Chains A and B, each alone.
Chain A
Amino acid sequence: MAYRSVVCVKQVPDTSNISGEVMKPDGTVNRAKLPAIFNPDDLVALELALQVRDEYGGKVYVITMGPPPAAEVLRQALYMGADEVVLISDRRFAGADTLATSYALSMAIRKIGNVDLVFCGRQAIDGDTAQVGPQLAEKLGVPQVTYVEKIEKIEGGWLHAKRRIDGGYERVRATLPVLLTVFGDAAIPRPFNAKLMMEKKRARSRFELERMSGNNPLSFFYNDPGTLEKKGLLIFTWGVEDINAEEERCGLKGSPTQVYKVENVVLTSPERKRYEPTKADLEKLIDELMTDHIFG
């Protein structure tokens, strides 16, 4: 029994490795300088989808919603072995919160059609909300299994999975179609396949083809979408109309939450005392803590 899977991925700024180079003089982070990466949990989601395909057969679609440069994570998905990739990109999707994002993703998944499994990473490292997965499941009208650590088996129309919960785990079974959100340590993502990298590095989205043809009118001749699709090098690029989305439910317009204020976290401390690692200094420190009734 083969399964059709869709993996939802996101290109995110790398917030986990903040080096001195991205710090502004005032001690805040220059977010524009952070490198853009494949969201770590989403790589694991893709790995699980590929494992399901390896075991049961089927097809793995990878979709992302984002600005044109997000095509890069789709090329990386191809290097890992994804079958088809789709960039959902349109100015009118910009500013989407999790509700508007899950709506747009749900419309794209409906367009792909006949999907058995939807995989999402547990959360993205820029927002850390973990909301898009469950919201997307609701929009698709399918059950959700969140925090998946392991897919045990798919048998007789049921998917068996182990999921992590606070302080323990659960084993559950769910009917297909189902949406899974995947824990970051559920699997180790496979490395890029060298042969696929050679083959797929020329995969292009519609925006990239347009830009190339703008620079060189002859280039479009060699890179027309039809030829690329035949070679498996087309990054499908869908806008609002392509997925039959209602514009009012997309982007900023479709987002009930709004950012009202943003403050940078600045490192400060009210009082700072330095002590040498000597006995005399430690005595002073402990005396002070005893006087303040911190000890005792």
Chain B
Amino acid sequence: MEKISGIWVFAEQEEGSLHDVGLELLSKGRKLAIALQAPLAAVLIGHKVRHLVPTLYSYGADYVFLADHEDLEHYLTLPYAKILTRLVQFHEPRVVLFGATSIGRDLAPRVASSTRSGLTADCTDLQIADVTQRGRLYKNLLLQIRPAFGGNIIATIISPESRTQMATVREGVMRVEKPDSGHQGKTIEVDVNLSEEEFVVQLIERFKEKPKVNLKAANIIVAGGFGVGKKENFRLIEELANVLGGAVGASRAAVDAGFISRDHQIGQTGTTVRPKLYIACGISGAIQHRAGMSESKKIIAINKDPHAPIFDIAHYGIVGDLVEVIPKFIEVYREKSR
């Protein structure tokens, strides 16, 4: 059997639909594959998921490794890790990318350990470059760029001696390119040969809510922080978002204080967003929060504290109490848009 090295993407799916992050990674992987002059492959594991293969082709996959079996219907660490480990050991890909989701962050380290590959968590950028490290030149290494130290530093990590370089990548940071329905690939059927050992963890129940909030797709986000003060005041944030046709976001401090549910959280431990306009209300601008929104095209900060760090990255700063500023803002906006 021919070895297919190059760039691989783990195409996460659940109940027969692909996770966005897989498409984001294929879009980025396409560029890396061109830089490496190597093929791009997707690994698709599940049950009754064959219908997803054409989508993976259209997002740039030259090959799809398809492991389709009833035992693989739901994600379980050991069977998925076993299949990937075998594939990686045989084909020796240069790069394997995973989404930094609860599945990707569970699976990737297990596979990296069994194949003794270098693995970097939660990357926000990836590049291919020649690198001189400790006096040696390495051609075409994967530069794995990620925030570290609570977001206070940006580190570039390399795995120069690793046969396969692995990384998990934050959701929402890589742009999805337009699919090309004319792009075709080849499917490689993967032999699913698992033993009882792989099923020592059993799923009893799974509960998943469809996300009610779609922060990633919003053009305008109005977000509240701890400075909102109390839960009742959060209605102002919701009202402003409503008037502007935007979505409601929150800092971790606001979520922890119980002002709003966790699915609204933006930042290093929440969603990464890049809307056209981000209005930060009563958000001090801790680095963990900025990590999730600093790519916004325009940022308005409303805060009582003139020294709040959020003003350092805001394009427009308003020093004042949001309880007074927001109603005024709404009033003026309504007049103007009449």
Name A residues whose Cβ lies closer than 8 Å to a Cβ of B. Answer: 13, 15-16, 18, 28-29, 31, 97-99, 102, 125-135, 137-139, 143-147, 160, 164-175, 178, 255-265, 267-277, 279, 281-283, 285-287, 289-290, 292, 294-296
- 28 interchain pairs, CB-CB under 8 A: A13-B149, A18-B150, A99-B119, A126-B149, A130-B109, A131-B109, A134-B113, A135-B109, A137-B110, A138-B114, A143-B77, A143-B201, A144-B77, A166-B101, A173-B204, A178-B201, A258-B158, A260-B157, A262-B155, A267-B309, A268-B312, A272-B315, A277-B324, A279-B331, A279-B332, A286-B336, A295-B220, A295-B333
Give min CB distance, B137 to chain A, whole Å: 13
Check if B72 is an interface residue, CB within 8 A of chain A: no
* A277 engages B318 (CB within 8 Å): yes
* A273 engages B297 (CB within 8 Å): no
Check A145/B203 contact, CB under 8 A, given A265-B287, A273-B315. no
Check A292/B315 contact, CB under 8 A, given A134-B106, A171-B204, A260-B143. no
* A259 engages B328 (CB within 8 Å): no
Number of interface residues of B (CB under 8 A): 84
User: Bound complex: CA of A276 vs CA of B317, how far in Å?
Assistant: 8
Check A285/B316 contact, CB under 8 A, given A173-B204, A260-B143, A279-B332. yes
User: Bound complex: CA of A68 vs CA of B226, how far in Å?
Assistant: 38
Give min CB distance, B324 to chain A, whole Å: 6
* B122 engages A128 (CB within 8 Å): yes
Check if B263 is an interface residue, CB within 8 A of chain A: yes
User: Bound complex: CA of A270 vs CA of B336, how far in Å?
Assistant: 27
Cβ-neighbour of A269 out of B113, B207, B313, B328 (below 8 A): B313
Contacts of A128 in B (CB 8 A): 121-122, 148, 150, 268
* A99 engages B110 (CB within 8 Å): no
User: Bound complex: CA of A268 vs CA of B312, how far in Å?
Assistant: 6
* A170 engages B205 (CB within 8 Å): yes
B68-104 near A? 1/0 per residue, CB < 8 Å: 0000000001100100000000000000000001110
For chain B residues 278-326, which have a beta carbon within 8 Å of chain A? 287, 297-298, 300, 309, 311-321, 324-325
User: Bound complex: CA of A160 vs CA of B101, how far in Å?
Assistant: 23
